[in-house]
Chain A
Amino acid sequence: MKQFFLRLLVSFAYFLESAPTYKRAKRFFDNLLNNDSYRYKKYFDIFMVFVILSSVIILVVDVREHVAYWLEWYDLYIVTAIFIVEYILRLWVHDDMHKIIIAQYEESEFFDKPFSFKKVFGEIAAQKWEYITSIPAIIDLIAILPSYREIRVLRVFVLFRAFKMLRYSKSLLQFFEILRNKKIELYALLLLLSFFTLIASMMIYVFEGAGQNPNITSLFDAIYWAVVTVTTVGYGDITPVTNEGRFISILVIITGLGAITFLTSIIVSAFGEKLPEIKQTRVLNQVAKTKDLNLICGYGKIGQIVSDKLRARGEKLLVIENDPEKVKKAELDGHQVLEADATKSDTLLKLKFCDNVKSVIAVTHDDIINVFITINARSLCDRVEIIARCSEKSVATKLKLAGANHLIMPEEIAGLLGAVYIGQPVAFDALQAILTRKKSARIDEVEVKRGSFLDGAKVGDFDFSAARLVLLAVLKPLKPGEKMSHYVIFNPPEDTELHAHDILVVMGYNVSIADFKGRMEQSVRYQKRSS
């Protein structure tokens, strides 16, 4: 019988281990309940907040007034059912029972030992118990209790339904998390205040409790007075009548003010200390949902200009910097900043690097750090574009080896621009104007769209001159359908055939280029409609 049960149990455990549907379902619910970065968790949280709020409102209104039958029914069956299902699901996804069974079975087979049911069930129970006794789980369980209307006292647990909100509100959780870091200071303050309140209440009782003050007839009255006074609430229902009592009042009021100031400063300093961390978490959460991100590693002179210009061109960017002063500067400049070390893989992995990041721009002032950033980025993702700055020629080869796609050598660029200017000042100015778009004439790229008027046409079929454009070059994919690598045909002959995904590099004024792009889009739409 024992052997039969063991076989059944182990077979079932292996069945679960190899069942993709079971695994998928468990992963889905685990993500839904626990994974903050899971796309659908947000909707689930909103739904639960709605259920909790509606239930709390119904229970509170029901105290004095009779709520509609269907609302009672909703609260009694639907809400309770949702809470029970949620509780069971959390208990289920907390750990994998079948893995414990498999591990124990394999261990017993390997060492040729008898399978211990006691150990297995003990371990399973211990893991489940760990969840059941956790504070959120206790709150969840107690929140189900107000549903038993017959026992009215259980309605007090309606509060726990409100507490359940904590689970679904990150800000509330964060508030308690911050306070937890100051628990020693808070305990000390609480202890001091309790001690002082007790002394003050005993003193007022001694001075006024023997009939001098008709409102103080017991020690409880004295404690009540002390608490009301020390917290600066001061209802005024009990006031001291003797000089000694008034003197104690003065001491209690001053102490109360001091305690409140101390409490405020503890909370403010706790927030102050945690603020950078909160900011970082917020930035990470925002960035985790952003695609085509440009990472600017280093907020020095080049980093600053690149960030401003990329933002002006509508690109999404994140500055990574580990110098707090530069982080502050980037924040003041209005950029999203992560205070972290870009040479560490952990920093990049947090950003879902390969999924979200389009380019890495390593522009710290230190060539060696730029090499490290390049190695880090390339080792994590093949397709990301890496642009790295370097000053030394010897580092340039290392950066290429490390996987940088483009090198930026400021001193070389300066020399080259100087040479171009000396040789051809007019051409230099023209080039500068084109590059900086200062004179509205610019060079832009236009991709030939599938089904557009240029797809399958020849260069000579379109009169670029009449469209106030100059066709400088055509970039053709190295392989059909390839979008990343191209070869260049300068000043293409009239009979050059154009196909989808070819890129035309044209020079013209903004209005001409915009018109050309518009024609391209329009012809694609027309083609789609007519087909």
Chain B
Amino acid sequence: MFDTRKDRREIILFGYGKLGHRVYEMLSTYFTKITVVEQTEALTQDAKDHGIVKSFTADFKHDQELIDLGLEDKILFCAMDEMAMNIFLVLSLKSMTENATIISISTSAENTRKLKFIGADKVIDIYEASANRIVDIITRPAVTRVLDEIIFVDNGISLEEIEIPPNSFLEGKYVHDIDFKAMDLILVGITDKEMGDDFIFVSRGIDHKFDAGDILVLLGESHALEAFYKKLTKGNG
């Protein structure tokens, strides 16, 4: 991820138990502004012992204690070990925020359905995700290898989304006008504003016109992505 965007939003991680602890480890490799909130003093202390300065104890049943954390415009990540608590927390957070993004961990299809129903923006079913990975390793080993290199391995290759700023060199041009390969990039797809924010895979073959606000999903090496990003934002100062 570009450093410029790395710290763009703050994350509040609810839970520092078995699950929350591991989620924090992964999040902290990409983001720095993470606050940990726990229900029990012992786990908050555990977080502090692991060097997390911004770790607090709050009673999730008391709305005011949650509101006091300053939830608006933040990423609220629910990773409590108890699924019932995650569901309760998502419901509480949804009722007291408007612009926050709520992510929750789920452990079954049933919980996923409930979490989506009460308004979680993204639900990650840890067992389903793990199972998908196992199945891909067996049935599509080469694809898994490539995706691993993109997602898991720190080799400079990544999948990035870049929003087209106004007055960029892309504006008004069509997909086929731009030789992404010459820039060492692969254009995976576009979220086209004119098409109602639907994601369109480039392999569908429709020649889209680029507009400001469209989001490009690109695959490539960091330096190529960085160069493209600079080129794109050059006209904007």
Alpha-carbon gap, A85 to B127, bound state (A): 60
Q: Is the interface on chain B under 10, 10 to 19, 20 to 34, or 35 or more residues?
A: 35 or more
A413–B134 CB distance below 8 A: no
B55 interface residue (CB < 8 Å to A) = no
| Contacts A301-B127, A412-B22, A435-B147; A426 near B136 (Cβ below 8 A) | no
B26–A507 CB distance below 8 A: no
Mask of A404-429 contacts with B, CB within 8 angstroms, 1/0: 00101111111111111111111111
Chain A residues whose CB sits within 8 angstroms of the CB of B189 once the complex forms: 430, 441
Please report the total number of A residues contacting B with Cβ < 8 Å.
Answer: 67
Segment touching A, from B56-64, B89-97, B197-205: B197-205
A355 interface residue (CB < 8 Å to B) = no
B217–A361 CB distance below 8 A: no
Interface residues of A in 262-279 (CB under 8 A from B): none
A509–B129 CB distance below 8 A: no
Which of A310, A359, A416, A427 is within 8 Å of B217, CB to CB?
A427
B131 interface residue (CB < 8 Å to A) = yes
A418–B103 CB distance below 8 A: yes
| Contacts A414-B79, A439-B201, A445-B142; A424 near B160 (Cβ below 8 A) | yes
A520 interface residue (CB < 8 Å to B) = no
Mask of A90-121 contacts with B, CB within 8 angstroms, 1/0: 00000000000000000000000000000000
A490–B138 CB distance below 8 A: no
Give the Cβ gap from A411 to chain B, nearest Cβ, in Å.
4
B67 interface residue (CB < 8 Å to A) = no
Residue of B nearest to A512 (CB): B203
Chain A residues whose CB sits within 8 angstroms of the CB of B21 once the complex forms: 411
Give the Cβ gap from A97 to chain B, nearest Cβ, in Å.
51
Chain B residues whose CB sits within 8 angstroms of the CB of A361 once the complex forms: 134, 138
A488 interface residue (CB < 8 Å to B) = yes
A145 interface residue (CB < 8 Å to B) = no
B9–A422 CB distance below 8 A: yes
A416–B9 CB distance below 8 A: no
B129–A417 CB distance below 8 A: yes
Mask of A9-45 contacts with B, CB within 8 angstroms, 1/0: 0000000000000000000000000000000000000
A389 interface residue (CB < 8 Å to B) = yes
Which of A359, A363, A418, A433 is within 8 Å of B27, CB to CB?
A418
Interface residues of A in 348-365 (CB under 8 A from B): 358-359, 361, 363
B126–A423 CB distance below 8 A: no
B11–A313 CB distance below 8 A: no
Interface residues of B in 123-169 (CB under 8 A from A): 124, 126-143, 145-147, 149, 151-152, 157, 159-161
| Contacts A361-B134, A363-B134; A444 near B149 (Cβ below 8 A) | no
Which of A294, A411, A470, A475 is within 8 Å of B203, CB to CB?
A470
| Contacts A443-B146, A503-B142; A408 near B133 (Cβ below 8 A) | yes
Interface residues of B in 179-237 (CB under 8 A from A): 181, 184-189, 191, 199, 201-205, 215, 217, 219-221
A413–B130 CB distance below 8 A: yes
Alpha-carbon gap, A486 to B149, bound state (A): 13
Chain B residues whose CB sits within 8 angstroms of the CB of A420 once the complex forms: 151
Give the Cβ gap from B82 to chain A, nearest Cβ, in Å.
15
A431 interface residue (CB < 8 Å to B) = yes
B137–A387 CB distance below 8 A: yes
B159–A418 CB distance below 8 A: no
B199–A310 CB distance below 8 A: no
B203–A509 CB distance below 8 A: yes
Mask of B6-37 contacts with A, CB within 8 angstroms, 1/0: 10010100000011011111110111000000
B22–A509 CB distance below 8 A: no
Give the Cβ gap from A306 to chain B, nearest Cβ, in Å.
5
Give the Cβ gap from A99 to chain B, nearest Cβ, in Å.
46
Residue of A nearest to B175 (CB): A465
Chain A residues whose CB sits within 8 angstroms of the CB of B45 once the complex forms: none
Give the Cβ gap from A503 to chain B, nearest Cβ, in Å.
4
B66 interface residue (CB < 8 Å to A) = no
Mask of A339-381 contacts with B, CB within 8 angstroms, 1/0: 0000000000000000000110101000000000000000000
| Contacts A313-B139, A387-B137, A411-B19; A422 near B103 (Cβ below 8 A) | yes
Residue of A nearest to B224 (CB): A491
Chain A residues whose CB sits within 8 angstroms of the CB of B79 once the complex forms: 414, 418
Give 7 A-B pairs besides A410-B129, A430-B189, A490-B157 with Cβ atoms closer than 8 angstroms: A409-B130, A411-B21, A422-B75, A424-B1, A431-B151, A445-B142, A491-B185
Q: What would 5 A/B residue contacts be, using CB atoms closer than 8 Å?
A: A423-B5, A435-B136, A445-B143, A470-B186, A490-B149
A contact residues vs B (CB 8 Å cutoff): 294, 301-302, 305-306, 309-310, 313, 315, 358-359, 361, 363, 385, 387, 389, 391, 406, 408-431, 433, 435-436, 439, 441, 443-445, 468-470, 472-473, 475, 486, 488, 490-491, 494, 503, 505, 507-509, 512
Which 7 residue pairs spanning A and B have beta carbons closest together? Answer: A415-B26, A411-B22, A305-B131, A445-B142, A415-B23, A441-B201, A508-B203
